Structure 1
Amino acid sequence: MATKSVTDASFAADVLQSDKPVLVDFWADWCGPCKMIAPALEEISEELADKLTIAKMDIMESTEVPAQIGVQSIPLLVLFKGGKPVAHKLGAAPKSQLKGWIESVL
């Protein structure tokens, strides 16, 4: 399963009410590091599809949720379990580091 796009309108249903943990990638089209990690997140979403969902939220199109969460820098990865944020990672990293971090916080 590829990454899933979420918006302010779909965030509650897609992330907060999800049965599986959801990793949300807060990003923007103009963000170079965001574009760098996008292919790795796509691959990780396939590899860990049975364990979690990876969602992407464009902070320029959806502004309410990022404001509520306090997103100040991107890329910001936030892992939600049971509707609550339980871990976050700021900035870009190689795929192996991203996957290792995700697996360590699942």
Structure 2
Amino acid sequence: MKPITITDDNFEQEVLKSNLPVLVDFWAVWCGPCKMIAPIVEQLAAEYDGKLKVGKLDVDNNQQSAIKYGVRSIPTLLIFKDGKVVDTIIGAVPKPMIVNKIEPLLKTA
């Protein structure tokens, strides 16, 4: 499973109305740290397939969503559950740090 592409147009449907918790990677093509975290995001999409929805939102092309959620630096990972932001991770962080944030959400699902 690959991360889905999230845009301003499908944000509500894919993220806010999702039955699963959603990890959204706010990124941009020119962002070095975003490239560092991209393989981790892809691994999470595969490993948590069916339990967690993983998506990537290009902030250059979808500024509305980035502004709405106050994303000022990228990469920013926002974790949504039931249409609300429940956690925020800023910067290229190690995979275990992200796993530690999403695991508790999956247990309550």
TM-score by length of 1: 0.93
How many angstroms apart in 2 are the aligned matches of 1:100 and 1:5?
24
1:74 maps to amino acid: I
Instruction: State the percentage of identical aligned residues.
Output: 46
Write the deviation string for residues 33-62 of structure 1: whole angstroms up to 9, x where unpaired: 100010111011111112201110000000
Q: 2:21 touches 2:105 (CA, 8 Å); kept in 1?
A: no
1:92 maps to amino acid: A
5+ residue gaps, structure 2, are none
How many angstroms apart in 1 are the aligned matches of 2:31 and 2:105?
25
The residue number in structure 2 matching 1:45 is: 45
The residue number in structure 1 matching 2:4 is: 4
**Matched position secondary structure for 2:55:** strand
Alignment of 1:55-74 (within 5 A): 55-74=55-74
**Deviation of 1:93 (Å):** 1.5
Structure 1 runs of 4+ with >2 Å offset: 94-102
Count of residue correspondences: 106
**Deviation of 1:105 (Å):** 4.8
